[in-house]
Chains A and B, each alone.
Chain A
């Protein structure tokens, strides 16, 4: 097996991992700040992909879809928080999970009604088709773009959370929401924004994944399982963990696809099982 093929597959894994990172980050941010496990995350990823496709076909440009769809679905996420999830604060931690699961049912069926049950091809934007020679081999331009964009967003998120006043409030709110209320911060607005941000990230993941996978109403199921595996490996609520585990899972999946294709979907679950046996709290998680 020549090194060029291995390098290409490795890079494919990084691109796949980048999508996982952006999706798992959304899940992890929502959980870390609000203590809510969003079971509709996979469905919202799928809705994001459809919204991207819809906006792109309406405007004739992929770029509008990439920009508008995550914002649109993010606002939709804020609506979900405002109308539904807000009522469940103070109840069992399982209740928001059950509610978002029911919601995912509704979202998947809703998309089937509007766009039909069959998969729809998501064309790669013309600017990003083709491959580029990087000296060590030919790499698809679109995947390079995905990795670069995800990297930029991760840096922006980090700056936003660590260096701004809003980030400070969000981090403090995740530590002690009651104290933030005492200090005069309207924490419910912070949670609204955080949920919107997390859902927007899922939608962005969906739009980015569109040209790499086919878009269908069931695509969210696998994504949800993948995002769970990544957050369990990385440690729930840990952003660094989500990034490292996302890339790790992406690379492991695509390297397995090279050597034993029939094991590709199974291997990430095996990886999770191993991590659980050694470190039940995940690689970067803190013991509860």
Chain B
């Protein structure tokens, strides 16, 4: 008689983390938004919180391709930068209103992702990383040369957004708290979109391609088209991150197109945990926090961040969140 009463709580305990995990998956979008709402009050500065927001969106978009489709792109800076540059040029040189500029930046990034994706998804395996890197460097050098539009080496300036009009409310965009919560709406939209994509049959198809491309092909999936669509969606979300960055900084540095920015996106995503929903955002948060803390001690903080990344690849390839899930929730 005693046996079940002992076993039952044990079994319930064992199932508890699993049930918690299932609940977190179901409510992943509201949970992320809740976390984002309190984030600026937990971090040392509001500017850091805005950066986490921006790179979190970029990494969530990147992870759609890297974590879920299994394609290691080293060229996503091109879409991030394109979104930022197009937004900046639209506001600064054509006087377009800010929301239209965001729309143009995202659309431009999507078109660029479609073109680069069209070329790079033709290649197989390890070529893909090299080709995406090379094509993104092409975009970098084009931006460097087209200095009448982009400002060349000095980056793009002169498009400060001071006040924005949001459904009739006039908001002071220079106030970091206002800025954070306005940009958070974009981040929430991106998170919802990615969650929706992952829940769709298309989401299952990209994971099938990651697990076994040949099997997915045999099952009748059009692998090339699916990859291209995943690439384009992923690039589009990165471009949204780029437009947010342009609005935030009122400046687009040329480095935002450089392959080291692509590498940073890869590092953040892997650090947090690829192929998990919360991982990329956590990765962006941890990476930027490390940058914030280490750069106080030394200007050579990259050597510490690089070493930590190498250790993660060696010992914790699932990243912070992925390791946490596999250790705590079995």
Binding site for B on A (CB under 8 A): 31, 35, 37, 84, 87-88, 91, 93-95, 97-99, 101-106, 108-110, 112-113, 221, 224-225, 228-229, 231-232, 236, 262-263, 265-266, 269-270, 272-273, 276-277, 280, 288
Proximity bits, B235-263, A CB within 8 Å = 1, else 0: 00000000000000000000000111001
**Alpha-carbon gap, A37 to B303, bound state (A):** 22
**Alpha-carbon gap, A94 to B307, bound state (A):** 18
Contact between A266 and B145 (Cβ–Cβ < 8 Å)? yes
Contact between B300 and A266 (Cβ–Cβ < 8 Å)? no
**Alpha-carbon gap, A218 to B141, bound state (A):** 15
Q: Quick one: closest A residue to B124, CB to CB?
A: A288
Contact between A105 and B134 (Cβ–Cβ < 8 Å)? no
Interface of A is mostly: helix
Contact between A277 and B313 (Cβ–Cβ < 8 Å)? no
**Alpha-carbon gap, A99 to B302, bound state (A):** 15
Proximity bits, B295-306, A CB within 8 Å = 1, else 0: 000001011011
The 9 closest A-B pairs by CB, nearest first: A105-B306, A269-B138, A109-B303, A102-B309, A106-B306, A102-B310, A228-B130, A265-B141, A225-B137
Q: Quick one: closest B residue to A27, CB to CB?
A: B130
Which of these, A101, A112, A269, A277, contacts B300 with CB under 8 Å? A112
Nearest CB on B from A256, distance (A):
12
What are 15 pairs between A and B in contact, CB < 8 Å?
A95-B313, A102-B267, A103-B306, A105-B302, A105-B309, A106-B302, A106-B303, A109-B302, A109-B306, A229-B134, A236-B127, A266-B141, A269-B134, A273-B138, A277-B119
**Alpha-carbon gap, A266 to B136, bound state (A):** 11
Kindly list chain B residues whose C-beta atoms are within 8 Å of the C-beta of A277: 119, 122
Q: A232-B131, A269-B134, A277-B119 are in contact. Are A98 and B313 (CB under 8 A)?
A: yes
Q: A98-B270, A273-B119, A277-B119 are in contact. Are A236 and B126 (CB under 8 A)?
A: yes
Count of A-B residue pairs with CB < 8 Å: 118
- For B, the interface residue count at a CB cutoff of 8 angstroms equals 39
**Alpha-carbon gap, A93 to B72, bound state (A):** 10
Proximity bits, B102-134, A CB within 8 Å = 1, else 0: 000000000000000001001111110111011
Max chain B Cβ within 10 angstroms of own Cβ: one of A35, A101, A103, A269: A101
Contact between A94 and B134 (Cβ–Cβ < 8 Å)? no
Nearest CB on B from A28, distance (A):
11
Kindly list chain A residues whose C-beta atoms are within 8 Å of the C-beta of B219: none
Contact between B134 and A99 (Cβ–Cβ < 8 Å)? no
Which of these, A94, A110, A221, A272, contacts B129 with CB under 8 Å? A94
Kindly list chain B residues whose C-beta atoms are within 8 Å of the C-beta of A263: 145
Contact between B266 and A225 (Cβ–Cβ < 8 Å)? no
Apart from A98-B313, A106-B310, A236-B126, what 12 extra A-B contacts exist at CB < 8 Å? A97-B72, A98-B72, A105-B302, A105-B306, A106-B306, A110-B303, A221-B258, A228-B133, A232-B127, A232-B134, A265-B145, A266-B142
**Alpha-carbon gap, A102 to B271, bound state (A):** 12
Proximity bits, B199-210, A CB within 8 Å = 1, else 0: 000000000000
Contact between B303 and A101 (Cβ–Cβ < 8 Å)? no
Contact between A108 and B302 (Cβ–Cβ < 8 Å)? yes
**Alpha-carbon gap, A105 to B131, bound state (A):** 20
